Amino acid sequence: MALATCAEDTCRYAHKFMDIKKQIKEYIASQPEAKAADMHELHQLILAVQPKCKLWFEIGRNSEGKIVSNPNIGYGMHTMKYAKGTTREFFQMSISANTAGISLYIIGIKDKTILAQKFGKTLGKANITGYCIKFKTLKDLNKDVLEEVIRYGFVAQNETN
């Protein structure tokens, strides 16, 4: 089942077209106030690091409309390679609200221990597993290290694939 993913300037879902930036703004605004503020700040930080990156909005539903994940705001472009030899364009990095806080995903890194090794001791109060960094609030993180993580995320996937 394919995920319904939006990219570039418009998104097709439920026979409606909506601007990606508008979807992102609405998604962030739909969160509780403190989480929305943190997501907006993180969104702006990612855009400051990679200002011309492609924006995506994944609604978290498959092609049949069933919920399969939390919505994601995606950044950049990554070509995913599947075992059967097929490829698919996807984002390099994404953020998503979850019940405990926010998740930052770094897509396409081959070494699933590298984020914890490089940033685990200095990032702050976060759970780092594979390519996901989960945290409750931005105030729990060292923002300079978070910026390093974001920079690393955009560069590392390009170096490893």
User: What residues does 81 pair with on adjacent strands?
Assistant: 87
pLDDT in tens, 74-132: 999 988 888 899 998 999 999 999 999 999 999 988 899 999 999 999 999 999 999 99
Look up residue 111 and give its DSSP letter.
-
- The answer on pLDDT for 5 being more than 50 is no
Question: Taking Cα atoms as reference points, which of 36, 68, 58 lies closest to residue 105?
Answer: 58
Element (H, E) at 155: helix 143-160
Q: What pLDDT sits at residue 16?
A: 43
Report which of residues 148 and 2 the model is more confident about: 148
14: left (phi over 0), alpha (psi -120 to 50) or beta: left
Q: Among 1-5, 57-61, 133-137, 148-152, which stretch is predicted with the lowest mean pLDDT?
A: 1-5
Q: Taking the complete model, does pTM exceed 0.75, yes or no? A: yes
Domain boundaries, the chain: 3-160
pLDDT in tens, 37-50: 999 999 999 999 99
The amino acid sitting at 127 is N
79, burial (CB in 10 Å: exposed 0-12, middle 13-18, buried 19+): exposed
pLDDT in tens, 42-72: 999 999 999 999 999 998 888 888 888 899 9
Query: Max Cα separation, the chain?
Result: 46
